[in-house]
Structure 1
Amino acid sequence: MGQKMKILLIGLGSIGRRHLKHLQSIENVTLAALRTNKGARKEKSDILEFFSVEDALSFQPNGVIISNPTALHVQTALPFLKAGVKVLIEKPIADTLAEATLLTAFSEQIRVAYCMRFSPLVVKLTEIFANDPPFKISFKRSYYLPKWHPYADYTKEYTAIKALGGGVIRTLSHEIDMALHWFGEPQSIKGVTDRLSFLDIDTDDFAFFTIKTKSGARVNFELDFFSPINRNEGEAFTSKGLYYWTMEGIWYTPYESNKSEALFKFTTDAIDEMYQAQLKDFADFILHGGSTNATLKEAVGVLALIQHVEQQS
């Protein structure tokens, strides 16, 4: 990548520091951060740091990555969008659909960081479903919230606080983006969010919902914050058989046999490859305009589904 560019990071928590690590491996990128020093990760980074929007704008970034709490996304993005800067916003796009509408005029400058689109596993599933369309799909995603960021008090993290845009259905919305990316807008949505466990949070720690796609497929989701076993798995039934996947790989069992065949192995490097590909995509978006990251319209579709389930609860 021959052209030079400046990228500003806003939010240096867990995901912000992951972005920083991968951006540092891209050539001809000068990095800086806009910080508040209010989060759990207050230690100084090894890049230029600003503490006001005005100073950050004077850096004249070509791109901005926003990874602060969801409730702050829109107001954080607007000064940079108004200055003509391209922005990558962490998911979900905003706390409410009303807030998200404030970004409409800048849709061509915005991409939303649904990183699973760049996972080798998801790329493989996309190829499979293009040739063997499923009629029933299920996602199961769960982990124990207090272990999410071991360096922080989980009760003070945005995921545990409704006012900051937390909750399991918002935090674990990658699977929603995957389903809409594969199958388009749903015809119907039914579901519930709830706070069930002993966790000291004021938002949902459980979500169960189902959508019917325009093609007639049924897609189910079950998400929680209280499982001692980290689970990230799915299954899809097609006219040929069953596909099952975890973060270790994909297996296929045809109807004619009860024997599973391994189709894909998820290597230990795949997570890094996924984030690296996403940030390379953002760099290409800054320079050339093309991008595989979610558009504003697609991200608003995810948020609309989330709000629909929340309202039913």
Structure 2
Amino acid sequence: MHALIVGYGSIGARHARLLAATGADVVCVTGNRDCPFPQSASIAQAVASHAFDLVIISNATTYHKNTLAEVLATGYTGKILVEKPLFETAHKVSVEGAGPIFVAYNLRFHPLVQRTFALLKGRKAICAEFFVGQFLPDWRPGTDYRKGYSAIKEQGGGVLRDLSHELDLVLWMLGSWTDVTAVGGHFSRLEISSDDSYSLLMKTERCRAVSVHLDYLNFGVRRGFNIIAEELTLTGDFIANTLLVNGEKESFATDRDTTYKAQLEALLGSGPGDPCTFAQGAEVVALVDGAEAAAQRREWVTAS
């Protein structure tokens, strides 16, 4: 198995490490001198020299559109995984004739999410809340948070995009969004140009009241959800790896690589699951744009 990784930051390094552990041959296109894998000067050169089974785009979000176009321009028709979010804002991109394109919303593959998805199947959801928060300077100890992608608006950073896993979970578990309103922006003393807090209220096809809160400000780590459906109450805690089902606790064994491994296995056909498709990833981007517009205009925005 041959894989090309474009961009070797922290997430590109994780993908490369996990792929190499399966015995895959990994090639990278990157300017990172610390990359230990074979490197190619360009995407075109790499594709001309190897028959890749998978291409992973893991550079800064603002580069995703052009990088995807470069990959497709080579005539490559294999599988492509684009790191989340798909784009920094909605773009019209022709993928006609391309192979399958996926977006790396790996939180779908957490076992408590898989369990929740199965429990919700066929049920009417009544209301739900999702939340995630962690103090940005604590994310990567030993690094300057002000220089990271998350802190830089021009690179596609900010909670609305950086923590959009929660938005994908809402759409995947509760249906496409129909309306959204939001409050968000840069509210703290963090030395960043990106947004540090966002709160969304939305309606989806299967749930008429969904709230989502995302922030870079929480001391400690907080991530989870509460969903009330017909004859069912679910409380998920990603930090404790537990799911309360009508008050009964279920626990799940995971490590930092669990969801990434499961996502790769699903992509390569050796494991179960539903990776986020290009269309689903584009819907998350549309929701991000809608939430920003709603916050700026102080009104509800309807999906187009």
Contact 2:44-2:71 within 8 A present in 1 as well: no
Name the structure 2 match of 1:77.
68
Q: How does 1:57-206 map to 2 (within 5 A)?
A: 57-60=47-50, 61-82=52-73, 83-85=75-77, 86-98=79-91, 101-105=92-96, 108-130=99-121, 132-206=123-197
Give identity over the alignment, percent. Answer: 30
Separation of aligned partners in 2, 1:310 and 1:15: 26
Contact 1:188-1:211 within 8 A present in 2 as well: yes
Pair 1:280 & 2:262 matched: no
Once the two structures are superposed, what CA deviation does each residue of 1:191-222 show, in whole Å capped at 9, x if it has no partner? 12211111011111000001112234311101
Larger deviation: 198-207 or 127-136?
A: 127-136
- How far did 1:80 drift? 1.5
Pair 1:298 & 2:280 matched: yes
- How far did 1:275 drift? 1.1
Separation of aligned partners in 2, 1:76 and 1:233: 33
Separation of aligned partners in 1, 2:118 and 2:254: 22
In the alignment, structure 2 segments of 5+ residues that lack a partner are: 296-304
Q: 1:283 to 1:134 in 2, by over 3 A?
A: same
The SS at the match of 2:157 is: coil
- How far did 1:229 drift? 1.3
Separation of aligned partners in 1, 2:106 and 2:196: 22
Picking from 40, 48, 51, the partner of 2:41 is 51
User: Which structure dedicates a bigger proportion of its chain to helix?
Assistant: 1
- How far did 1:126 drift? 0.4
Name the structure 1 match of 2:289.
307
- How far did 1:233 drift? 1.3
Separation of aligned partners in 2, 1:118 and 1:164: 27
Q: 1:192 to 1:272 in 2, by over 3 A?
A: same
- How far did 1:265 drift? 0.7
- How far did 1:295 drift? 1.2
Q: 1:107 to 1:230 in 2, by over 3 A?
A: farther
Pair 1:14 & 2:4 matched: no
In the alignment, structure 1 segments of 5+ residues that lack a partner are: 254-259
Q: 1:102 to 1:238 in 2, by over 3 A?
A: closer
Once the two structures are superposed, what CA deviation does each residue of 1:258-299 show, in whole Å capped at 9, x if it has no partner? xx321x212143x423211111222239xxxx9721111111
- How far did 1:53 drift? 3.0
- How far did 1:243 drift? 1.6
Contact 1:74-1:103 within 8 A present in 2 as well: no
Equivalences, count: 289
Pair 1:30 & 2:25 matched: yes
Q: 1:52 to 1:84 in 2, by over 3 A?
A: closer
Separation of aligned partners in 2, 1:104 and 1:162: 27
Separation of aligned partners in 2, 1:215 and 1:295: 20
Separation of aligned partners in 1, 2:135 and 2:257: 22
The SS at the match of 1:228 is: coil
Q: 1:219 to 1:146 in 2, by over 3 A?
A: same
